[in-house]
């Protein structure tokens, strides 16, 4: 996109992810938002536009009209407050729109909050609500859920490329090792390869350790025009590239279910905006809703060749000390996956690494990071590239 202003992130904040029966959706969002405002050294009246990423707050909590419900609780009135829904990419989509609002010159300062409160519903109801991000007239009507859809992706990837059960488990083992070092992670639990491979089956070939968690949580960032960033922060992080793309909702409409066209399209645009390529990315936060999703994502983003993601993972290439560190946060698998919060939480994780605030998880190479936020079985993808200022 030509003619856009440079945009930075000047504040970031998030809640821990987990099950929080004493916190409702609004209190989670407000906690993350207040942390981001404090991190940016500004008050709520500095925010000119508010963007909320939330997938299914009305179904999970019975509350509608969520954007002003949250922005006013943060002390923001008289500004546009809008909710964005794009399945698990909801807050990634909200972030993209906030970026456009500032890059186009309409606003100078904006806030994005992503939030989801899921554990207030029993697991069967959560599964039913999440399934609504698929094609309800076809695949959902036939009984499909996202574990079963990603199980089909995994099985086909195994058939086409020789990916193994051990490769899938290697993703889980690595992400749990990272998450164990993350104080905000829901499951701070180191697991062995044997545990990962022999866990309770969920949808063949996926088992318990291949699937992300049901979570509550929120994350927030404050965006600012780059020429004003130093008014608020001495550690602004540059948005080098960001793009959103879409594809068919139903898995059976895709010509090849081992690759996601929306990921490839969003990545191409984000790389072009940043003037970078896959080899320039030093670390990444990828959308591992299931272990196979991380493998497919690293291939679609160009980090490895098609079919090589599982082998690269098993060889240690994605560990914190590997050639391409992926999900140093623990990923959705260990950190947790409050779906509406995930996209912004990934961006917060990039900001932490770039600012050298990641504690025990701090990477040696941390100047340029990429976040990939996926919605449904590949129907929406937002790719964001951040860099040190």
Strands 206-207 and 201-203: antiparallel
Pair 238, 386: CB distance under 8 Å: yes
| Helix/strand/coil percentages in the chain, nearest 5 | 40, 20, 40
Give the three-class secondary structure for 175. Answer: helix
Alpha-carbon dihedral of residues 53, 270, 377, 150, nearest 10 degrees? -120
Task: Give φ, ψ of 112 to 5 degrees.
Answer: -120, 130
Place of tokens 């130093």: 230
Task: Specify whether the CB–CB gap between 158 and 204 falls below 8 A.
Answer: no
d(Cα 215, Cα 147) in Å, to the nearest integer? Answer: 16
The set of catalytic residues is 88, 337
Q: Which residue in the block uniquely carries the two structure tokens 């990934």?
A: 346
Number of other CB atoms surrounding residue 228 within 10 Å: 14
Beta bridge partners, 88, equal 86
Are the beta carbons of 215 and 16 closer than 8 angstroms? no
| DSSP code string of 87-150 | TBTHHHHHHHHHHHHHHTTS-SEEEEEEEEE-TTS-HHHHHHHHHTTS-TTTTTTTT--HHHHH
C-alpha distance from residue 257 to each of 312, 357, 380 (Å): 20, 37, 14
Structure tokens at 203: 């949808």
């Amino acid at each position: 996109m030509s003619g856009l202003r440079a945009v930075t992130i000047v504040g970031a904040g998030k809640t821990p992810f987990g099950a929080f029966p004493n916190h409702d959706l609004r209190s989670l969002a407000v906690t993350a938002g207040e942390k981001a405002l404090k991190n940016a050294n500004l008050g709520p009246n500095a925010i000119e536009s508010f963007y909320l990423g939330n997938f299914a707050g009305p179904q999970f909590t019975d509350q509608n009209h969520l954007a002003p419900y949250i922005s006013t609780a943060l002390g923001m009135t008289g500004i546009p407050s809008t909710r964005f829904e794009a399945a698990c990419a909801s807050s990634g989509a909200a972030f993209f729109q906030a970026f456009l609002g500032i890059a186009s010159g309409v606003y100078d300062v904006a806030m994005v909050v992503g939030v989801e409160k899921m554990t207030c519903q029993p697991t069967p109801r959560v599964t039913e609500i999440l399934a609504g991000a698929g094609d309800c007239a076809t695949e959902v009507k036939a009984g499909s859920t996202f574990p079963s859809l990603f199980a089909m992706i995994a099985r086909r990837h195994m058939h086409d490329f020789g990916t193994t059960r051990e490769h899938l488990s290697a993703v889980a083992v690595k992400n749990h090792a990272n998450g164990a070092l993350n104080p905000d992670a829901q499951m701070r639990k180191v697991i062995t390869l044997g545990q990962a491979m022999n866990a309770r089956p969920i949808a063949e070939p996926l088992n318990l350790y291949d699937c992300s968690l049901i979570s509550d949580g929120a994350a927030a960032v404050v965006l600012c025009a780059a020429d004003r960033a130093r008014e608020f922060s001495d550690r602004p992080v540059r948005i080098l590239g960001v793009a959103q793309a879409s594809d068919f909702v139903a898995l059976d409409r895709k010509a090849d279910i081992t690759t996601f066209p929306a990921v490839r399209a969003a990545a191409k645009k984000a790389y072009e905006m940043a003037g970078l390529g896959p080899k320039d990315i030093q670390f990444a936060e990828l959308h591992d809703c299931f272990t196979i999703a991380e493998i497919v994502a690293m291939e679609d983003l160009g980090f490895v060749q098609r079919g090589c993601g599982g082998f690269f993972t098993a060889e240690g290439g994605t560990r914190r000390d590997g050639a391409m560190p992926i999900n140093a946060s623990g990923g959705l698998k260990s950190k947790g996956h409050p779906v509406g919060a995930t996209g912004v939480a990934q961006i917060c994780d990039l900001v932490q690494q770039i600012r050298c605030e990641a504690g025990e998880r701090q990477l040696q190479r941390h100047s340029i990071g990429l976040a990939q936020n996926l919605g449904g079985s590949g129907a929406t993808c937002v790719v964001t590239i951040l860099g040190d200022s």
